[in-house]
Amino acid sequence: MRQFTLGLLCSATLFATACNSNPGANPKPPSGAMTVDPQKIVSDAGNIRTLHATFEIRAAKPNEPFEAPATIGGACLLAKIPVEGKSCTKQEECNIAVPGQPEEWYGYCLDTDQLPATQGGTCWIKPSDSQYCLKGVGAGSHSTPVTDTSAVYDYVAEKSPNWSKPIEWVLLGCLNGVFTQPPPPCAAGIQPSIYRASKVRPVP
């Protein structure tokens, strides 16, 4: 979709203070401030494990994290794998090479609020960008692709045969501020950007 830029441009020296905020730092966001709002994870009517998720990029409300100006954002469906929980300090520790899958499952190291951890967290994964994410979109209501997640459940059945609980899923959304190079949307370590997470949904 077409890139959008809202609000007054901030100088590079003001990014940390005027352009990128967090809840409580400024109860009333400035004019043009935008946020990403991960909403819900939805099962297909015919198969509880066929999932998609909805999110919105919209004007920020008081006490919400924001970017001003904002450019593009997106969201990805993530599963808590290993299901037993695996501690991590960086994302690479969570990557999983799954035999028979076309690409490595990309890891995320998330804190207890399901946001990227800064000092240590728990591993989550996304099996692919194309099937589990929607990226590079602007303001409006959006949905990740409808995707069959059976490969995730097959992996858990093989690696954790005694596991009988539902698998936990979360929708992690991100929104970029202004950037001068064309990096992947919300790529790790590229600032300014914000992240927000939906409620965790266990899916049996």
pLDDT category at 101 given cuts 50, 70, 90 is: confident
Tell me the HSE value of 160 on the side-chain side, using a 13 A CA sphere: 15
Residue 11's φ and ψ, nearest 5 degrees, are -70, 160
Q: Cβ distance 173 to 65 under 8 Å?
A: no
Kindly report, residue by residue over 69-96, the tens digit of the pLDDT. 999 999 999 999 999 999 999 999 999 9
Tell me the average pLDDT across 107-112. 96
pLDDT exceeds 80 at position 34: yes
pLDDT exceeds 80 at position 47: yes
Percent of the chain with pLDDT over 90: 73
Domain boundaries, the chain: 12-203
pTM of the model: 0.85
